[in-house]
Copies of this chain bind each other. A is one copy, B any other.
Amino acid sequence: MIVLNGGSSSGKSGISRCLKAILPRPWINLGVDDLIDRLPPSLTDSGSGVAFGQQGEVVLGAGWREVETAWTTGVAAMARAGARIIIDDVFLGGRTDQERLRAHLDGLEVLWVGVHCDPEIAAARETARGDRVPGMAAGQAEVVHKGVVYDVEVDTTHTESLHCARTIAQHVD
């Protein structure tokens, strides 16, 4: 299992697609955005699920935590059943989020990858993609790495996703 942690617009999705293209064995990717896309209106239009503030801040309610825990339990079960999974996550709570995820992945071989990006550059990419609430990239760029411990760290500020993926791939069997 590979866990990519980084802020919005830091380049996790691109790295994930490159990893799938270059790794010799088949990997699938699953991310927190996939779960958000599948939430019902009751969890996106109310305060109990996921909400995005005007400055791009993300507010998570009790309803989100409940479904996210079940989701993560299931993703861990997929990995235990033999699937090679790249998780694409945003540790808004930094180390606390890593510890919670680590507990779920107990017994699995996990490569923890930090995906860094200069906040200003991430914000520029957020403008260029045009499909995210402005402010998320800069707001998350550094806080998501607070206290998190990694096996590999890459930085997309001056390095292409494909090259970052090659660095990561060297740590994967």
Contacts and interface: CB of A to CB of B under 8 A. Distances in A.
A110 interface: no
Interface stretch (A78-86, A95-103, A144-152): A78-86
Nearest to A38: B28
Contact of A83 (B17, B71, B79): B71
Contacts of A127: 17-18, 21, 161-162
Taken together, the copies of this chain in the complex come to 4
Interface residues of A, number: 52
Main secondary structure of the interface of A (DSSP, over half): helix
A73 interface: yes
Interface string A3-32: 000000001001101101101011111100
A43 B67 CA distance: 30
Interface in A82-127: 82-83, 121, 124-125, 127
Interface of A: 11, 14-15, 17-18, 20-21, 23, 25-30, 34-35, 38-43, 49, 63, 66-67, 69-71, 73-83, 121, 124-125, 127-130, 158, 160-163
12 contacts: A17-B128, A18-B127, A26-B43, A26-B63, A28-B40, A70-B81, A70-B82, A73-B81, A74-B81, A124-B161, A124-B162, A125-B160
- 3 A-B pairs with the lowest CB-CB distances in the bound complex, closest first: A74-B78, A77-B77, A14-B128
